[in-house]
């Protein structure tokens, strides 16, 4: 596994495992539990030790499945990210959401606790005070946000002395909005940009974009691996592809053993 600096004293894997849809979509579905837990455990064994979830995923069932999987491992070797929903950003709601996530995850602490989406009606001073309290009580280790603009990020940061270590956003070859401003900001401020939907919800799996297929063939890789490699070679960027099968996890892990040549990175940049 390759790593980047989350903080001066904490590394984060360049590839994590996303869990949106694991446990179903918006409501809990127990029929695929064994398969999903197996996939998470398999990812951990492969070295993908960062897993991303949220209280809203499958009505909390995703967190429960992550909790089932992580009990088999040394907790200190894992990085668990979860998120509080934007409708729960009152001070006491944040504390309650964190407590409920901890129970579902069956853990004593959350490594990365993120605000899932901005809420323009929220009082950010009170929001960040709640996060500060969670850090002080050692219930979370690091603060993050998701889907925040640069201005929203700055506003949140000014209300806490704890560094906001990541902004998780939609970023892939087909969705390049972060390159307008956010990517430069994260690189300058040493903030990790976590790319969700890095494979454009399956649109980059192959056969649809000849340039991607050609580069994949050149390296003996799959289009999925090239699309992920394009992301994680960028400074401060990591990716959290979703997977619920061992074969796909193997494919994701195969991203790690070959760098792209500069000319191929540039070709991908201008072709999408």
pLDDT value at position 244? 86
In this predicted structure, the answer to whether residue 166 has a pLDDT above a threshold of 90 is: yes
pLDDT at 206: 75
Would you say residue 207 has pLDDT above 90?
no
Strands 11-13 and 17-18: unpaired
For residue 129, which phi and psi values (nearest 5 degrees)?
Answer: -65, -35
Where is average pLDDT lowest: 37-46, 182-191, 198-207?
198-207
pLDDT of residue 190: 98
Q: What is the pLDDT of residue 27?
A: 56
Residues 6+ apart with CB under 8 A from 189: none
Q: Tens digits of per-residue pLDDT, 8-28?
A: 999 999 999 999 877 665 555
**Strand-pair category, 17-18 with 50-52:** parallel
Q: Give yes or no for residue 164 having a pLDDT over 60.
A: yes
* Nearest CA-CA partner of 94 in 66, 115, 63, 111: 115
Burial of 158: CB neighbours in 10 Å, binned 0-12, 13-18, 19+: exposed
Q: What one-character-per-residue DSSP string does 189-235 give?
A: HT-EEEEESTTGGGTTSSSS-HHHHHHHHHHT--HHHHHHHHHHTST
Residue ranges of domains in the chain, CATH in brackets: 3-271 (3.20.20.100)
- % of residues, the chain, pLDDT over 90: 90
Catalytically active residues are 57
Q: For the chain, what is the mean pLDDT?
A: 95
Distance CA 27, CA 92 (A): 24
- Quote the distance between the C-alpha of residue 209 and its chain's center: 25
Q: What is the pLDDT, as a whole number, of residue 153?
A: 99
Q: pLDDT confidence of 32, banded at 50, 70, 90?
A: confident
Residue 84 pLDDT level (bands cut at 50, 70, 90): very high
Q: What is the pTM of this model?
A: 0.96
55-79 pLDDT, tens per residue?
Answer: 999 889 999 999 999 998 999 999 9
**pLDDT tens digits, residue range 100-148?**
999 999 999 999 999 999 999 999 999 999 999 999 999 999 999 999 9
Q: Which residues of 45-55 are buried (b: 16+ CB within 10 A; e: fewer)?
A: ebebbbbbbbb
Nearest-angstrom CA–CA distance, 186 and 15? 18
The annotated binding site for substrate is made up of 116
pLDDT of the residue at 22 = 78
**Cα–Cα distance for residue pair 136/132, rounded to 1 Å:** 6
């Amino acid at each position: 596994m390759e790593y980047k600096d989350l903080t001066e004293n904490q590394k984060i894997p360049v590839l994590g495992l996303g869990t949106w849809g694991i446990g179903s979509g918006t409501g809990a579905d127990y029929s695929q539990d064994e398969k999903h837990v197996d996939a998470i455990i398999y990812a951990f064994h492969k070295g993908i030790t960062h897993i991303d979830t949220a209280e809203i995923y499958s009505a909390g069932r995703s967190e429960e499945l992550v909790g089932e999987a992580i009990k088999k491992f040394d907790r200190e070797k894992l990085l668990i990210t979860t998120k509080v929903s934007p409708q729960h950003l009152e001070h006491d709601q944040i504390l309650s959401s964190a407590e409920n996530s901890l129970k579902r995850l069956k853990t004593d602490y959350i490594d990365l606790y993120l605000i899932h989406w901005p809420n323009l009606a929220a009082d950010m001073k009170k929001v960040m005070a709640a996060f500060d309290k969670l850090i002080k009580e050692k219930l979370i280790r690091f603060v993050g946000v998701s889907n925040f603009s640069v201005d929203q990020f700055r506003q949140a940061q000014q209300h806490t002395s704890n560094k906001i270590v990541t902004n998780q956003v939609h970023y892939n070859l087909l969705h390049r909005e972060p390159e307008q401003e956010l990517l430069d900001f994260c690189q300058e401020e040493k903030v990790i940009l976590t790319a969700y939907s890095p494979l454009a919800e399956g649109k980059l799996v192959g056969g649809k974009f000849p340039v991607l297929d050609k580069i994949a063939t050149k390296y003996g890789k799959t289009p999925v691996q090239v699309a992920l490699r394009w992301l994680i070679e960028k400074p401060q960027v990591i990716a959290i592809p979703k997977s619920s099968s061992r074969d796909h996890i193997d494919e994701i892990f195969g991203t790690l053993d070959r760098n792209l040549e500069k000319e191929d990175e540039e070709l991908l940049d201008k072709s999408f």
